[in-house]
Amino acid sequence: DLTLGILGGGQLAQMLALAALPLGVRVTVLEPDAQAPARLCARHLHAPYTDAGGLEQLVACDAVTLEFENIPVEALAALEGRVPVRPAGALLARSKHRAREKQALREAGATTAPFEIIEAEGDLDGALARVGGRGILKTSELGYDGKGQARVNTDAELRAAWDDLNRVPCVLEGFVAFEREVSLAVARTPSGQVAFGPLVENVHRDGILRASVYPARVPDGTEALARDLARAVADAWALEGLITLEFFQLPGGDLLVNEVAPRVHNSGHLTQDGGGLSQFEAQVRAVLDLPLSDWAPLHPTAMLNVVGMDGPDGQPLEPDWAAIDAMSGTRVHLYHKAHRHGRKVGHVNLVAPDADTLRARLASLEPLVP
Ligand code: ATP
Ligand code: MG
Ligand code: MG
């Protein structure tokens, strides 16, 4: 009997826990909020796993993994002496900090958008021109779903944006005219097996992921390139566990790495219903050193995020659940989170027998989800 500790109790922990159960893996979630998805889930299942957390329960686990990156590196370091933590604190220290992440990506041989590190007033001088005249200022830490970012087109906008972000350490990135966004996950077990997830195409709206589609419509060779880059980062960063790389695909097919998540990723949710291994099972297997092979849907598969939306009258806009359930090939996943404008509260996966049918069904599904 294996036990997996998960740091964080959000929807990713909920889905990791649900993937662990059929493998006979017990789960302990460390999460202070009793209303968090993974803790609610534990309660409803009458606890084949523990939701109480606590340090003693964690260090008794066979391994500890994480579902969010904003964990103090010191806390991980304290755990690391007592239980295997996968991915390790050293990897997290890179992925949670944009400036360090970009530097470490370049050292691993990947290309990123041009960037300038902004830590003091003087760093602003000439920075926008050096990244190409148009850019996005991003806080180095704590940003997600496009929060902590501002698009800037002039030096005055850059200065105002840095003030708005409270002058915390930032990265100014050059604006990339990408053709599309794609992502790919790679897992590596402690005994050295490497496996890849599918290359997925992603569409964002207002900085938040709206939809993911598999297969991605990319030029020949792009998936192989994504795998090579993912493997290079996994090797250079001594990965144990699973990471997901977000890429900008340029018109010629080249890939820039945007950022790395030290875990399963929203774009990988479609693996739950495509017929293959899911990304959640892949992370559980990788972290516990269980046998692992590449995972990709067996059928064309898409995912549409359900994001809390307020209507013009301030009332929440509800998806048309009856119509969604009535559509062929849909499957709804909810996180049991209270409504808040802009907050991810669930997703709908969609499968189809071929890629054209999938795109057509996705086009019918989209208007049903505000
Ligand atoms: P996530 O929820 O993925 O962690 P985040 O807040 O960390 O989001 P990013 O992934 O850096 O933010 O950016 C969000 C989205 O904004 C990207 O997926 C992309 O659509 C757009 N974007 C970010 N950086 C750039 C860039 N340099 N050029 C063009 N578009 C960009
Ligand atoms: Mg991010
Ligand atoms: Mg991102």
Model pLDDT, residue 254? 95
**Region class of 352: left (phi > 0), else alpha (psi between -120 and 50), else beta:** beta
Is the per-residue pLDDT at 49 higher than 90? no
Averaged pLDDT for residues 229-255? 97
Element (H, E) at 234: helix 222-236
How far does residue 101's CA lie from ligand 2's centre (Å)? 11
Output 38 or 170, whichever has higher pLDDT. Answer: 170
Ligand of minimum distance to the alpha carbon of 149? 1
Residue among 105, 203, 210, 258 whose CB has most ligand 1 atoms within 8 A, to mutate: 258
Under the banding of pLDDT at 50, 70 and 90, the label for residue 41 is confident
Interface predicted TM-score (ipTM) of this complex, two decimals: 0.98
How far does residue 294's CA lie from ligand 1's centre (Å)? 27
Contacts of 25 (CB under 8 A, 6+ apart): 2, 3, 4, 284, 288
Q: What is the pLDDT of residues 50-106, one digit of tens each?
A: 555 578 889 999 999 999 998 988 889 889 999 999 999 999 999 999 999 999 999
Measured from the Cα of 174, ligand 1's closest atom is 27
Q: What structural domains does the chain harbor?
A: 2-85 (3.40.50.20), 114-174 (3.30.1490.20), 180-368 (3.30.470.20)
- Would you state the torsion angle of the CA atoms of residues 274, 39, 336, 272, taken in this order, to the nearest 10 degrees? 0
Tokens of 25: 């893996």
Averaged pLDDT for residues 138-148? 92
Contacts of 54 (CB under 8 A, 6+ apart): 30
Tokens of 57: 């329960």
Positions of E strands within 119-240:
135-139, 149-152, 170-174, 180-188, 194-196, 200-205, 208-214
How far does residue 60's CA lie from ligand 2's centre (Å)? 31
Element (H, E) at 302: strand 301-307
User: Could you tell me if the CB of 179 is within 6 A of ligand 1?
Assistant: no
Average pLDDT in the chain:
94
Q: Is 212 exposed, middle or buried (0-12, 13-18, 19+ CB in 10 A)?
A: buried
Q: What is the pLDDT of residues 273-306, one digit of tens each?
A: 999 999 999 999 999 999 999 999 999 999 999 9
Contacts of 244 (CB under 8 A, 6+ apart): 183, 184, 185, 186, 197, 260, 261, 263, 264, 265, 267, 268, 279
Element (H, E) at 56: helix 55-59
Averaged pLDDT for residues 126-152? 95
Atom 5 of ligand 1, residue of closest alpha carbon:
144
